[in-house]
Amino acid sequence: MHGARYQAGVGDRGSCGTASSRRRSPAPASIPPARDEVFSADNWWENPAKFLLDVHADTEHDSLWLLALTAKSALLQATGQLFDCAVTLARPGKTPLTAGNCNRAASLAMWDENSGEGPLSQALAGRLAVTVNGYSRDLRWPAYREQLRISVYRSVASVPLPMAAGHFGAMTLLATNGGVFTPAVLGKVMAFGAVAATSLTAATEVREALSAADQARSALKGRTSIDVACGVIMARNRCSYDEAFAVLLNASNHNSVYPNDAAETILDDLPGGAPAVHFKR
């Protein structure tokens, strides 16, 4: 991470809040610790490459949710416009994820992604797409425009988020007023999109690294249990390590369990139970 960092806001708690509804809620099931609402850097849009957003969380969905909250706050600061935001991540072989700062923004984005008809679908294909006004004569996406007509929103912009290979992201901003996406506003939206893509990629890399470390620690603990259990067998049977390991494998196959589970069973039967294994972080 480099430069200053924005802190994600805690979101609204009103009719468009993030924690009140459980039906297809954009909020995470386990809400991460709240970040400060106020950004520490003024005029971030003048040099967005210096910044990285703090959107790391335990799950991808939680990171998207934090990014949606951050976008709402950052773009209000930059443009003076109040937006709702939904962020969508398409991953190979997995169901696309969408999270928003409120249910109605997330629901409209999910409708767009599922139907393949709308500005979000365009952005996921790498193209900026803007619906300027819900009552305009634009003939694109008639079904989507009908969804927009019956919603509270009148202006929509979807911005592609360039991600790592195989991943495609998009950020959808929605406003209740018409015609808010002027060239100046769109320039700041695109600048924020570049920061968001880099930040989301960094959060994913951190999460994957921590997961790999946990898996390695678990594997090492299992291997240590096997070695200790073999030592117990060697002491009992006065045999070599290879012979003890063969006994352990035989017990594993006989009970249809993994070798490390068979080892844990042997250690649990020791007086005082299995010895503790400690790893330095």
Q: For residues 137-165, b (16+ Cβ closer than 10 Å) or e, as one string? A: eeeebeebbebbeebebbbbbbbbbebee
Amino acid at 11: G
Please measure the distance between the N-terminal and C-terminal CA atoms of the chain and give it in whole angstroms.
20
Amino acid at 113: E
Q: Is the pLDDT of residue 167 over 90?
A: no
Q: Is the pLDDT of residue 82 over 80?
A: yes
In this structure, of 32-46, 211-225, 258-272, the range with the lowest mean pLDDT score is: 32-46
The pLDDT tens digits of the residues spanning 17-52 come to 333 333 334 444 444 444 444 444 567 777 777 777
pLDDT band at residue 211 using 50, 70 and 90 as cut-offs? low
d(CA 186, CA 183): 5
**Structural domains in the chain plus CATH codes:** 5-210 (3.30.450.40)
Describe the strand order of the beta sheet including 168-175 as a list of residue ranges.
Answer: 97-100, 84-90, 168-175, 155-162, 129-131
State residue 158's pLDDT score. 92
For residue 158, which of 102, 88, 59, 65 has the smallest C-alpha distance? 88
What is the value of pTM for the model shown? 0.64
Query: Highest mean pLDDT range out of 45-49, 96-100, 135-139, 196-200?
Result: 96-100
